[in-house]
C-alpha cells in the first residue's frame, strides 16, 4: 500500500509541476480559444459563460500555480538570508562574550 501511495504521490508531483508552468497556461489558453467562435455566435450569455467557465478556469489555474512557485522561491530566499544574518549575529555575540570573559579573567588576576 505504501508503494502505491508513493507512486501516486510521484505522479501528482509531476503533473503539478507540468501544469504549474506558463507554457501550460499558454496551451490552456489556446485550447480555450478553440471554443470561442461558438460562444461569439451564440451571444452575450455564452460569451460571459465562456470567459468565466472556460478561459479563466483553464488559464488562471496554471498562472496561479506559477505565482505560488515564485512566491515560494522568494520566501525561501528571504528565510535563507535571515538565517545567515542571524548566524552572523550569533557568531559576533559569541566573540564579544569571549572577549568580555577574557577581560574579567585579566581583572581577577
Domain ranges for the chain: 2-108
> Where do we find the cell 478553440?
34
The tens digit of pLDDT for each residue in 14-57 reads: 998 888 899 999 999 999 999 999 999 999 999 999 999 888 88
The whole-number pLDDT of residue 58 equals: 86
pTM above 0.75, yes or no: no
Helix (H/G/I), strand (E/B), else coil: 43: coil
Q: Give the residue-averaged pLDDT of 58-71.
A: 91
Assign 105 a pLDDT band (cuts: 50, 70, 90). low
Could you give the dihedral angle defined by the CA atoms of residues 41, 43, 46 and 52, in that order, rounded to the nearest 10 degrees?
110
Instruction: Give the pLDDT of residue 101.
Output: 83
Q: Is 43 left (phi over 0), alpha (psi -120 to 50) or beta?
A: left
**pLDDT at 108 > cutoff 80:** no
High-pLDDT (> 90) share of the chain, %:
62
pLDDT of residue 106: 65
| CA 44 – CA 7 distance, rounded (Å) | 45
Cα-to-chain-centroid distance, residue 53? 25
User: Residue 79, Cβ neighbours under 10 Å: how many?
Assistant: 10
| Phi, psi torsion values for 43, nearest 5 degrees | 120, -175
Amino acid at each position: 500500500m505504501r508503494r502505491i501511495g508513493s507512486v501516486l504521490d510521484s505522479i501528482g508531483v509531476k503533473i503539478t509541476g507540468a501544469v504549474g508552468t506558463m507554457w501550460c497556461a499558454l496551451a490552456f489558453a489556446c485550447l480555450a480559444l478553440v471554443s470561442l467562435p461558438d460562444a461569439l455566435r451564440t451571444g452575450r450569455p455564452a460569451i460571459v459563460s465562456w470567459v468565466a467557465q472556460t478561459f479563466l478556469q483553464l488559464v488562471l489555474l496554471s498562472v496561479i500555480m506559477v505565482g505560488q512557485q515564485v512566491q515560494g522561491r522568494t520566501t525561501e530566499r528571504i528565510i535563507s538570508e535571515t538565517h545567515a544574518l542571524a548566524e552572523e549575529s550569533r557568531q559576533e555575540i559569541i566573540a564579544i562574550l569571549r572577549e568580555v570573559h577574557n577581560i574579567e579573567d585579566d581583572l581577577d588576576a
